[in-house]
Structure 1
Amino acid sequence: MNRRKKINETLKRKAKKANAKKQKSNKPGYISKADRKKLENNSEQSIQKHIDA
């Protein structure tokens, strides 16, 4: 009985991990520090253009 129980537990654990990987995450993708800086500079420039115009 113990051997069968242990096998079932490991199979359930593997299935649970596989199912968790399939789920879509709501977490936003990673943006590097350099890319964030570029985006910030671009937004500042566009705001500056609107103010000057």
Structure 2
Amino acid sequence: MNRRKKGIQIVKARIKKANAKLATNNKPKYISKAERETIALAEAAEAEAKTAPIDKATDATD
């Protein structure tokens, strides 16, 4: 490989790395299985808590 080609190759590699760093990442952040389970349990408890006061309010008006 001649000197000119090697220089161009190095510059192209640097440009490629810079562009990769600037590119937005559309991939969602990894959440472990245990964290997903705790989040699901928290959401279920939250949903249950939201429905519970509504039921009590309807019982009181009847």
TM-score norm. by structure 2 comes to 0.63
- Superposed displacement of residue 45, structure 1: 0.5
Q: 1:3 maps to what in 2?
A: 3
Identity of aligned residues (%): 40
Task: Please say which structure displays the higher CA radius of gyration.
Answer: 2
TM-score norm. by structure 1 comes to 0.70
Q: Distance in 1 between the 2:16 and 2:50 partners?
A: 52
Map of 1:22-37 to 2, 5 A cutoff?
A: 22-37=22-37
- Structure 1 unmatched runs, 5+: none
Q: 2:19 maps to what in 1?
A: 19
- Structure 2 unmatched runs, 5+: 54-62
Q: Distance in 2 between the 1:51 and 1:15 partners?
A: 55
Query: What secondary structure, in the 3-state scheme, does the structure 2 residue paired with 1:29 have?
Result: coil
- Superposed displacement of residue 36, structure 1: 0.9
**AA aligned opposite 1:52:** A
